[in-house]
Every structure is written in structure tokens, then in C-alpha cells.
Amino acid sequence: MADHRIRVGIGGWNFAEWRGGVFYPAGLPAAQELHFASQQLTSIEINATFYATQKAATYARWRDETPEGFQFAVKAHRFATQRKTLSEGAESVVHFLESGIAELGDKLGPIVWQLPPYRRFDADDVEHFFALLPDTLNGLPLRHVLEPRHASFACADYVRLARDYRVATVATVFTDSPDYPHIADVTADFVYARLMRAQADEPAGYAPGELDAWAARAQAWARGESPADLPLIDAAPPAQPRDVYLYFIAAAKARNPAAALGLIARLKG
């Protein structure tokens, strides 16, 4: 983790509308889609783990099908966070972490704990949940991301609590989903953004100027800065280089690979 990188990707890799030359070459077998996608992108967020427990052998296969330097973000199982209180999910947190994700090895990136839209901010409950999240797993360093989806999380108390536990907050910020809170505050030694506003009538999902803006924001985060065009809830933390993870998710899903490739091209440029 010493080399601070910007990783860009999409959510999942099995999607029919990406086939036939849209993203995957025509005739590419479905079994080869992960290998192909991992050669074009630098990360993928695994969403299947949110709905069903995967086997350790499955994680090992995903690890072996992807190149060196590639990383997966893994969405934690919904049973861990979709409870009356977060503290009730302790067993599910342990079950998910011990289900085999360590088989990803150094290809294990952040773990995303997504909250339901009805979950309001409760400082005691959130702190109890943060205390459940370990720093390591079988010797692997872990990075945790909490994705709140209720507006009550957009407050200084939440940002400071996340910083205390070094948990990154998903940056669903101003060009993202209008349905979730806009929290651009950096709360850990990395930044995690889920970009949810791809449009079907844009060949690359986002207009060229919007991709330019996201490239500039990603580079600012990687340098340790806070992008000037994203207002903060709390004071900015001390500047330090950071890893950055950006994923194009949902919305006009067929356009997400093109958006990711467009952003990668800008970052290389």
C-alpha cells in the first residue's frame, strides 16, 4: 500500500449488455469476462457478495484470473448491515470476513459495508459497528468503507467518528446519485467513490468535461488534497498522499465500462 494509486473500475463483470462488442469482444465466453475486464480496468467492485456468501475457492479463482496489481473491492453481505441496529449484525460481520475473502490475498481492496436508505445516523450504534471491524485478516491489512444512504449522516459528528476509526466514507458526491448524502470529506488514508450518474445518451456515460473533472478530483485526492469544487462538512484533514478507488455503478449501466475506460485514459494522459 506504499505506492499511492488511483484505481478505476465498474461494479461486477457479468452483464449481458456489455457483450457483443460493447465492452466484451463478440463471441468472448462468459467464463473469460473477468480476465478480459481485469486487463482493461484496474479494479472491480464485487456486488454478488452483497446477496450471497461465496466459497473460498471462488475467491481464489477470481484472484488467479486477474493480473498483478489488480484489486477487488468486496461488498459485504447485506445481513451484516440490514438489521434493526448495526450492533445486531456482529455475527454476520464475522461470518462474512471468515467466508474466504482472504483468498484474494494482495488483490483484496476495500470492503464496502452498505447501509439501507432508512438507516439514520446514531453515533453510538455506528461506533459499536466500527469497533467490530478488524484491521487485519489472516495477516492481510484491511480497509473498510461505510456507505450511508440517509441524509442524517451528512454531519460533522459522523465525519469525525469515521476519522477516529479510519473508515472511509463512500464519496457519493455532487455529480453522483441525487438520492444519497453528498459526503466528500476524507476520513481515511484512501478515498472511495461510487459514481452513479452515467447517462445512456452519452457514449462514455459522462460528458467529456465531467470525466475531465473526475480525473482532476482523483488526482487531487491522490496528492492528499481535497478537491476545491467539493464542499466539505468538516475541516479537511492534514494533507497526505492517498490511494483512490473510483467505480462507475448503476444508472445507465451499459455505459459504465466506457466511462471507466475514459477516466483511465485521462489519468494516463
Q: Under a CB-based contact definition with an 8 Å cutoff, are residues 9 and 42 in contact?
A: yes
What integer pLDDT is reported at residue 170 of this predicted model? 55
Residues of the chain with pLDDT under 70: 1-4, 170-177
Q: Under a CB-based contact definition with an 8 Å cutoff, are residues 242 and 222 in contact?
A: yes
Return the domain boundaries, the chain.
6-268
- Which pairing describes strands 136-137 and 108-114: parallel, antiparallel, or unpaired? unpaired
| 83 class by beta-carbon count within 10 Å (0-12 exposed, 13-18 middle, 19+ buried) | middle
What integer pLDDT is reported at residue 168 of this predicted model? 78
What integer pLDDT is reported at residue 269 of this predicted model? 83
Task: Tell me which residue of 56, 51, 19, 60 sits closest to 37, measured CA to CA.
Answer: 19
What integer pLDDT is reported at residue 3 of this predicted model? 46
pLDDT tens track for 225-267: 999 999 899 988 888 899 999 999 988 999 999 999 999 999 9
What integer pLDDT is reported at residue 174 of this predicted model? 38
Q: pTM here?
A: 0.94
What integer pLDDT is reported at residue 99 of this predicted model? 96
What integer pLDDT is reported at residue 226 of this predicted model? 92
What integer pLDDT is reported at residue 4 of this predicted model? 61
Residue 38: C-alpha distances to residues 25, 67, 135, 144, 249 (Å)? 14, 7, 27, 22, 16
The listed CATH number (3.40.50.150, 3.10.110.10, 3.40.30.10, 3.20.20.410) that belongs to domain 6-268? 3.20.20.410
What integer pLDDT is reported at residue 207 of this predicted model? 96
